[in-house]
Structure 1
Amino acid sequence: MAAETEMGIIEDCRQLWRKLPLPTRIMIGKRIRFISEPLLAASIPTAGPYPRHSFQSVTILGSFSSPIGHGVAAKLLDYELRSRGIIVRRIDASEWIGAPIDAKLAIRSEEPAPDDVLIVALNPDVAIHALAKLGKEKLRNRKVIGYWVWELEVVPRFWKLAGRFAHEIWTPSDFSAQALKKLFDIPVHVVPHPVALLPPPAMTVERRAKGREALGVSDTAFVGIQSFSLASSLTRKNAIGAISAFVAAFHDQPDARLILRYLSGDRFPNSLQRLREAAKVAGPQVILRPAGEGLEDLHDLYAACDVYISLHRTEGFGLNLAEVMMAGRPLIATKWSGNLDFMDVKCVALVNADLVPLDDPDQVYSQKSGRWAEPRMDEAIRWLRTLAQSPDQRRQFAEAAREMAIAELSGNAVQTLQRPLRADS
């Protein structure tokens, strides 16, 4: 009963916090972080000596029960390591870091074995909290790897605190690696998310028909989709840009539809309101859908659509884009940032972009010296019209994209984990 009361109080506090204006939350958060994170960091042992042997077992600290990208990434890493014979234990940090939780994804956390390598599949802004909760006794005398990713060329300086606790860093793209190397003086290795190791969702004719019926669209209507989390910044994901391009491309085709599937609307009500206003102005061609539990609703949308649209301003990797490629759906994407590790003009309709100073009204990103992409809308509109008129082009892109994803995203975590030690390491 006491535990239930405590959880109720915590949830009430979270609800009050979410009702505060976003600028107020950001200001308070920065001030709390300035004080709390150094204190937490002081309680965590710095990276020290560890047994030098061939690593055969791992504990992953990640947000396993959360549907966010980091949760998916932790599960992909778990799957790859197990499939290659590595013993894996898991610790779910979702509740520790305040991540949204999907009960269907819940796991039972396990105790790390003394010889386990600890892979922290949480970015430094929350990793410090999780490591402090884990406790210093479980960190001493073991190798610690930070599996981190960043979406801009400039990494937040407060991340450097977490570098004290890691022996090396893994990150899923070269774009992210170059950014991290500017801040950290420990080894940084590119370890892509192994999307190609999982069986892709079934894209059957029956599933397509059922998905279209649920959306209320005809068999012949051209359908585009985008799926994103508002926690990742509505402006970075540029869904409003996708709305503008789609409506401009199909103003004379009233049955065309753009489906925007979103997560974390309750946590970012201001962003959700902006999205709703843009959709209202666009009219019935744009349909907003909150994400359901699990991934079945997303896979249903993949089956129902003709193209996936991502006019993003930047991606640290682009996990959703890789999943679309494996699902065999054609893709329009911005020609900038981490997604270029696994796509080119032969398999994706890439939209050129101009680099502009960072300006994020959602305040998820605030680096003063940062920049990101401004996709060229005229190119996006041309690609939408081209793909709508050419089923053959869509099919060619889809087939080539899956081949590219299989070639580039079949995993190298075990090779990185067990690579020979240098003589000076």
Structure 2
Amino acid sequence: MALPTLHYLSHFEPSGYGLSAIAMVRALRNAGYPVRWTPLKRVGYDQVAVMSWPQALTEASHWLRDDESLSDLPALAVVAAVVPLAGAAGFTIAHVAPELLAAVFATAAAESAHFERVAYTTWESDALPVHWLRCFDLCHRLVVPSRFNQAVFAGDLRRPVQVVPHVRRHRTNEFSAPDLVELRSTLDIAPDEFIFYSINQFEPRKNYRALIAAFVQAFSSADKVVLVIKTGSIGWADGPFFEPVQVRQHLQQMLLRMRREIKSDLPKICLIDAANLGGRRMDALHAMGDCYVSLTHGEGFGMGACEAACAGNPVLMTGWGGQLDFLGGDYPGNLPYTLEAAPVWPPERPSFWPSQRWAACSIDGAVQAMQGVVASPDEFRRLALERAESIHMQLSEPSVAAAWATVFAAS
């Protein structure tokens, strides 16, 4: 039986949505599906613009140029741009946030109006935003990347929801020992310092304040440890108003207050601006780091944790969310938590409301876990390498393509 033709529409950008879409299109192409891929650019809150592939690749040159793991992207784009849709039977897949579904399906209608419409999206609390509920009336099938999401979406929408996990990286950039020594030196990290690292936006859901507080409680300036934070230059202060802030300045003020409170020098914290960290240096951070850590309030899947786990690094993370699909409920790095009401966020167009709950990670639990990893790094590393083997199989291209086949075959 011939495979269905797919019209895949997604953001083309170095975000979680964008990078996971690149990996997904590659996996579907490698599985033999004819895939027409349409790159999208965000235009405001609920609109998108279609980019031509020459335009998309030109605008992406700054985040593609040093990333060997994406070296096949121009060739993939050339092939995926010319797949015919007229007269074919298949599916339009909108890999976007629900607010954009109407715009994306309208964009696709000119070429694939006769296809079944599939929404592929995610969420991070225990209930969907109310304004999302009508968005899914536009799609015939709804797909999410984790069982955590499946339970939330199915519970609120009262309709079938299928799971297709994100694809793990098909390859990563490689580094020599001198490369990593040079990166440590650039960041002023000594060869014998244990590196905790976190890759997230500086916004309320990612809960950086709690992570930094736990790190400061767990260690002192005398300990050979460092926390490396990769984030953007612009972030948001604490609630209830969540004012935009310059992250570096905001972090310096936060650390100054903590130093005054504990009346001693703090352990080392290193901030990396995401604008200065393309795909190659992102992989270098995973290669250099000793333990990925996140006290997130919730993840639909957890891309940063996934890449860290695939690299064989221990992961310490709030034990609630989509990452449990690949880490496992019994993973020793799952941190204790309680559920609490979410704030009104973001303030200008809220999707989180106090009627929803997300996880509040235990600071004491995080402190004990971080101290434990530093005390017994070899044991945690051994367990992480064992888990990496299973994740590589679970999130491989063939496994994920098989999950899509189940979606397409469903009546």
User: Shorter-chain-normalised TM-score: which range?
Assistant: 0.7 to 0.9
Q: Which amino acid aligns with 1:262?
A: T
Structure 1 position 361, deviation (Å): 5.9
Q: Are positions 1:216 and 2:202 aligned together? A: no
Give the aligned partner of residue 415 of structure 1.
Answer: 402
Residues 146 and 164, structure 2, Cα contact 8 Å, conserved in 1: yes
Aligned partners of 2:178 and 2:220: how far apart in 1?
29
Give the aligned partner of residue 80 of structure 1.
Answer: 27
Q: Are positions 1:118 and 2:109 aligned together? A: no
In structure 1, runs of 5+ residues without a counterpart are 1-52
Q: Structure 1 residues 98 and 213, CA, compared in 2 at 3 Å: closer, same or farther?
A: farther
Cα deviations by residue, 1:308-360 (Å, 9 ceiling, x for unpaired): 11111111111111111111211111111111111136654111101111125
Structure 1 position 391, deviation (Å): 2.5
> Of 155, 158, 161, which residue of structure 1 is paired with 2:134?
161
Q: Are positions 1:399 and 2:385 aligned together? A: yes
Residues 85 and 112, structure 2, Cα contact 8 Å, conserved in 1: no
Q: TM-score, length-normalised on structure 2? A: 0.80
Q: TM-score, length-normalised on structure 1? A: 0.77
Aligned partners of 1:355 and 1:258: how far apart in 2?
26
Residues 200 and 327, structure 1, Cα contact 8 Å, conserved in 2: no
Q: Are positions 1:372 and 2:358 aligned together? A: yes
Give the aligned partner of residue 277 of structure 1.
Answer: 253
Q: Structure 1 residues 296 and 370, CA, compared in 2 at 3 Å: closer, same or farther?
A: same
**What secondary structure does 2:370 align onto?**
helix
Q: How does 1:377-388 map to 2 (within 5 A)?
A: 377-388=363-374
> Of 318, 326, 340, which residue of structure 2 is paired with 1:334?
318
Q: How does 1:94-105 map to 2 (within 5 A)?
A: 94-96=41-43, 97=47, 102-103=60-61, 104-105=63-64
**What secondary structure does 1:187 align onto?**
coil
Residues 335 and 351, structure 1, Cα contact 8 Å, conserved in 2: yes
Structure 1 position 148, deviation (Å): 0.9
Residues 96 and 121, structure 2, Cα contact 8 Å, conserved in 1: yes
Q: Structure 1 residues 403 and 279, CA, compared in 2 at 3 Å: closer, same or farther?
A: farther
**What secondary structure does 1:181 align onto?**
helix
Aligned partners of 1:56 and 1:247: how far apart in 2?
54
Residues 220 and 267, structure 2, Cα contact 8 Å, conserved in 1: no
Farther off after superposition, 74-83 or 252-261: 252-261
Structure 1 position 279, deviation (Å): 4.1
Give the aligned partner of residue 71 of structure 1.
Answer: 18
Q: Are positions 1:250 and 2:219 aligned together? A: yes
Residues 94 and 104, structure 2, Cα contact 8 Å, conserved in 1: no
**What secondary structure does 2:157 align onto?**
coil
Structure 1 position 225, deviation (Å): 0.8
Residues 144 and 163, structure 2, Cα contact 8 Å, conserved in 1: yes
RMSD: 2.9
Q: Which amino acid aligns with 2:291?
A: V
Give the aligned partner of residue 193 of structure 1.
Answer: 166
> Of 110, 124, 146, which residue of structure 2 is paired with 1:173?
146
Aligned partners of 1:359 and 1:217: how far apart in 2?
36
Give the aligned partner of residue 262 of structure 2.
Answer: none
Structure 1 position 303, deviation (Å): 2.2
Structure 1 position 298, deviation (Å): 1.5
Residues 168 and 186, structure 1, Cα contact 8 Å, conserved in 2: no
Aligned partners of 1:413 and 1:145: how far apart in 2?
16
Structure 1 position 246, deviation (Å): 1.0
**What secondary structure does 1:155 align onto?**
coil
Give the aligned partner of residue 104 of structure 2.
Answer: 130
Q: Are positions 1:241 and 2:210 aligned together? A: yes
